[in-house]
Amino acid sequence: SSDNADALERGTPDLPPNQQNIRVEASSKGRKGKTVTILRGFQCSPDKLADLLKKLKTQCGAGGTIKDNEIEIQGDHKQKIIQYLIQQGYKAKGSGG
């Protein structure tokens, strides 16, 4: 969509991990009861996000995708993902249920 193009032209600030507050939430809303772990709050380039997605999929042994600058990993990996992000230098904490 054109919205995405606009966002890319403005450019997302590429902040160092320790300045990014990431919220990690396991949610099964509207997914036919399937749980996904959602990561929000990234302020980095699409490339960095894609790279992180790849590492998280490996880490969790699960599929995942990027939607509207949020990472979604299939299954409930909340604790594992929070620990991994903190190891990478991000400020990460759980949100939601």
Q: What is the pLDDT of residues 7-35, one digit of tens each?
A: 555 566 789 999 999 999 999 987 788 99
Domain borders along the chain are 2-94
Which pLDDT score is estimated for 96? Answer: 72
Indicate whether 93 pLDDT > 90: yes
Q: What is the tens place of the pLDDT at every residue in 28-85?
A: 987 788 999 999 999 999 999 999 999 999 999 999 999 999 999 999 999 999 999 9
DSSP one-letter string for 8-65: HHH------GGG-EEEEEEE-TTTTT--EEEEE---S-HHHHHHHHHHHHHHHTS-EE
Strand arrangement of the beta sheet that strand 64-67 belongs to: 64-67, 70-74, 36-40, 21-27, 91-94
The architecture that CATH gives domain 2-94 is: 2-Layer Sandwich (3.30)
